[in-house]
Amino acid sequence: MAGLSLAVLTAAGGLAGCSSSSGGEAGTASTSQAAGGGAYTIWDPYPQYDKSSEWVKLLDTCGTQAGVKVERTGYDTSDLTNKALLAAQQGNSPDVLIVDNPVVSTLADAGVLTTTEENKLDISAIAPNLLAAGQSGGKTYGVPIGANTLALYYNKAVLKKAAVNIASVKDWASLTAALEKVKAAGKKGITFSAIGTEEGSFQFLPWFWGSGAQLTKLDSPEGVSAVALWTDWLKKGYAPNSVINNTQTTSWQEFAGGDYAFAENGTWQLANAKKAGFDYGIIPIPAKGGGTAPAPTGGEFVSIPVQKDTARYATSQKLVTCLTNTGNSLATTTTLSYVAPTEQVQGEQVAKNPELKVWVEAVKAAKGRTGDDLGTKYPKISEPMWGAVQAALSGSKNPQAAMTDAQAAAASAIQ
């Protein structure tokens, strides 16, 4: 997810981050190559940041330290994957490419990216669960610049009126019991995004993984139980029917109205939470039997694309190292609203802003969507999965039938 947003599937079969702004710096890979090594191109999914931003200033500083001029282009994330694939086909890739983590396996499979072993990038301090999102076939294709994920925001006043102690919410049963009390008190329970896109899968995964289910077996009893949980919430009026069409943005708008007890959403809503006008708190999404459910990781990887002129890699490595090193990581992740990928900087973040503690905990428990060596199989599983959730919530299929059909579709797609 880029900065303040979430990932959606792209036509290329990968996933893109969520910045919706447009614009960016001029500069292309062709001008870089023509410059004879004096200029190095960086493509990123942050078009909302212009030349005056801290992000672009960091890019320029890293270029200066490496002895080159950085030519940066900020693309809308929905375009970046396709542009990267096209540039590779034309032998005109940028020197450094920053992409949403599920896109890494798509680009790696297409032969676009070098491995960290080839380009000598140091990944030893990176949390393994975050690094996994950039791995395919036992090889690592970049360095995570940071991560975000999902948790539950709650409205303190609504819970107080319903006599719910947030400390009692530890698993699915206690969360459902809390929703029942909230409804009985005349308020609304929980809102989330179950839209029929990757955004819906992103929000469903904590419940799916929290049940103990695996993406290779959508119709397992555990996987079906996750769909049944959401379906029962709608049937009992604990969640609104609007979740079927909700994006994360519209779901947040429902919560910000002040009548909902809970909302599933991400780190990127922290600034909006402070503007909501009511006291709120945040807890990790509970797993079915207790503990923290693994939520999917959002965030980008900084990678080095394949170049005809392999002599360029040494300078590209300096640029990537500068962008991701411990010294710059705190500033970078603060600018991009991310949790850092190393324990050391995570500790610095919490010391600076204690409110981030719950997010650090959630990120430590998180999983990459393309992890478990799924790679490019993930989008072919995710689409049937979000379709099954839609079918169950709309009542066109029961949870078991919905997930049975989804498993059959996924198995057929990845043969």
Please tell me the distance from the alpha carbon of residue 202 to that of residue 200, in angstroms, as a whole number: 5
The conformational region for residue 404 under phi > 0 = left, psi -120 to 50 = alpha, else beta, is: alpha
pLDDT tops 70 at residue 22: no
Please tell me the distance from the alpha carbon of residue 55 to that of residue 69, in angstroms, as a whole number: 15
Residue 4 DSSP label: S
**Of 16-25, 37-46, 60-69, highest mean pLDDT:** 60-69
CA nearest neighbour of 300 among 82, 32, 18: 18
Interstrand relation of 15-16 and 8-9 (parallel, antiparallel or unpaired): antiparallel
Q: Given this model, what pLDDT does residue 17 score?
A: 32
Q: Is residue 334 a contact partner of residue 132, using CB atoms and an 8 Å limit? A: no
Please tell me the distance from the alpha carbon of residue 282 to that of residue 258, in angstroms, as a whole number: 15
Please tell me the distance from the alpha carbon of residue 213 to that of residue 9, in angstroms, as a whole number: 22
Q: How many helices and strands in the chain, by DSSP H and E?
A: 18, 13
What is the helix (H) or strand (E) element at residue 281, kind and residue range?
strand 280-283
Interstrand relation of 150-155 and 139-140 (parallel, antiparallel or unpaired): unpaired
Would you place residue 150 in the very low, low, confident or very high pLDDT band (cuts 50, 70, 90)? very high
Q: Given this model, what pLDDT does residue 1 score?
A: 41
Would you place residue 37 in the very low, low, confident or very high pLDDT band (cuts 50, 70, 90)? low
pLDDT tops 50 at residue 247: yes
Q: Is residue 71 a contact partner of residue 32, using CB atoms and an 8 Å limit? A: yes
The residue count of the chain comes to: 415
What is the helix (H) or strand (E) element at residue 11, kind and residue range?
none
The larger pLDDT score, comparing residue 25 to residue 205, is at 205
Mean pLDDT of 69-93: 94
Residue 325, C-beta contacts closer than 8 angstroms, at least 6 positions apart: none
Please tell me the distance from the alpha carbon of residue 94 to that of residue 306, in angstroms, as a whole number: 9
What is the helix (H) or strand (E) element at residue 262, kind and residue range?
strand 260-266
Average pLDDT, the chain: 90
Q: Given this model, what pLDDT does residue 77 score?
A: 79
pLDDT tops 90 at residue 56: yes
Q: Given this model, what pLDDT does residue 193 score?
A: 97
**Extended strands (E) in 75-113:** 96-100
372: phi then psi, degrees, rounded to nearest 5: 55, 30
Interstrand relation of 188-191 and 139-140 (parallel, antiparallel or unpaired): unpaired
pLDDT tops 80 at residue 188: yes
Q: Given this model, what pLDDT does residue 4 score?
A: 34
C-beta neighbour count of 111 within 10 angstroms:
11
Please tell me the distance from the alpha carbon of residue 314 to that of residue 34, in angstroms, as a whole number: 18
Q: What is the pLDDT of residues 163-182, one digit of tens each?
A: 999 999 999 999 999 999 99
Residue 294 DSSP label: P
Mean pLDDT of 330-343: 90
Domains (ranges, CATH) in the chain?
Answer: 8-148+297-365 (3.40.190.10), 150-295+374-413 (3.40.190.10)
Please tell me the distance from the alpha carbon of residue 81 to that of residue 89, in angstroms, as a whole number: 13
Residue in the structure block whose two tokens are 């009992």: 236
Would you place residue 25 in the very low, low, confident or very high pLDDT band (cuts 50, 70, 90)? very low
Q: Is residue 10 a contact partner of residue 16, using CB atoms and an 8 Å limit? A: yes
pLDDT tops 60 at residue 116: yes
Mean pLDDT of 255-283: 95
Mean pLDDT of 123-136: 94
Q: Given this model, what pLDDT does residue 327 score?
A: 87
- pTM of this structure: 0.85
Mean pLDDT of 108-131: 95
Please tell me the distance from the alpha carbon of residue 37 to that of residue 353, in angstroms, as a whole number: 41
Would you place residue 76 in the very low, low, confident or very high pLDDT band (cuts 50, 70, 90)? confident
Q: What is the pLDDT of residues 353-411, one digit of tens each?
A: 998 999 999 999 999 999 888 999 999 999 999 999 999 999 999 999 999 999 999 99
